[in-house]
Amino acid sequence: MSITMYQASVPRFAAMLKNLDAILGRAQAHAAQKKIDPAVLLAARLFPDMFALQKQVQIASDHAKGACARLAGVEVPKYEDNESGFDELRARVAKTIAFVESVKPAQIDNSEQRDIAFKLGGRDLAFKGADYLLGFAWPNFYFHMVTAYNILRHNGVEIGKRDYMGNA
């Protein structure tokens, strides 16, 4: 059985982002129910030198939209990173899902050998499409997804593995 680059990217990113939205919704409800200032959860982090929840969500979003755009050979959408509440973060996730789902199979399929080059943190990075998706985009996306989940779980939001995995 073979899998296309589209199948390995767009549907997976979209599904996990939908799970992230649901988790953020649960966190928002938890904050309201427990009378916790949402800013406390948004600023929570697992360790002082790690990014806070808000940034984890932004970066997960960035990797999903960046991967789909680069594999499709289109410009990566730029977001301001100025979300200040759960509603705004969830709107960012929704906007990312809409972009990811707008990319068509014909744009991504057969991109295994496409040259992918960009700057990150002042470094020039270069990959072939499959190596980029499997060895860079996916690991980074999942790292920030699971870190966002762990921050919320650590702060008492009642979520579990099924919330993270969704209907995968």
Do residues 151 and 44 lie in contact, with contact meaning Cβ atoms separated by under 8 Å? yes
1 lies in a domain?
no
Q: DSSP secondary structure string, 111-122?
A: -TT-EEEEEETT
Is 135 a domain residue? yes
DSSP per-residue string spanning 41-72: HHT--SSTTSPPHHHHHHHHHHHHHHHHHHHH
When divided into structural domains, the chain yields a total of: 1
**For residues 62 and 92, is the Cβ–Cβ distance under 8 A?**
no
The pLDDT score that the predictor gives to residue 168 is 59
Whether the Cβ atoms of residue 53 and residue 45 lie closer than 8 Å to each other? yes
User: Residue 123 domain-assigned?
Assistant: no
Backbone angles phi, psi at 152, to 5 degrees: -65, -45
CATH code for the domain of 59: 1.20.120.450
| Number of residues that make up the chain | 168
Average pLDDT, the chain: 96
Residue 14 lies in a domain: yes
Question: What digits encode the pLDDT tens for the residues 49-84?
Answer: 999 999 999 999 999 999 999 999 999 999 999 999
In a domain, 120, yes or no: no
CA distance linking residue 23 with residue 49, whole number of Å? 23
Instruction: Considering only CA atoms, give the Rg of the chain.
Output: 16
Q: Decide: helix, strand or coil at residue 6.
A: coil
Is 116 inside any structural domain? no
pLDDT tens digits, residue range 15-36? 999 999 999 999 999 999 999 9
Residue 119 lies in a domain: no
Containing structural domain, residue 75: 10-108+128-165
Helix/strand/coil percentages in the chain, nearest 5: 60, 5, 30
Say if 113 falls within a structural domain. Answer: no
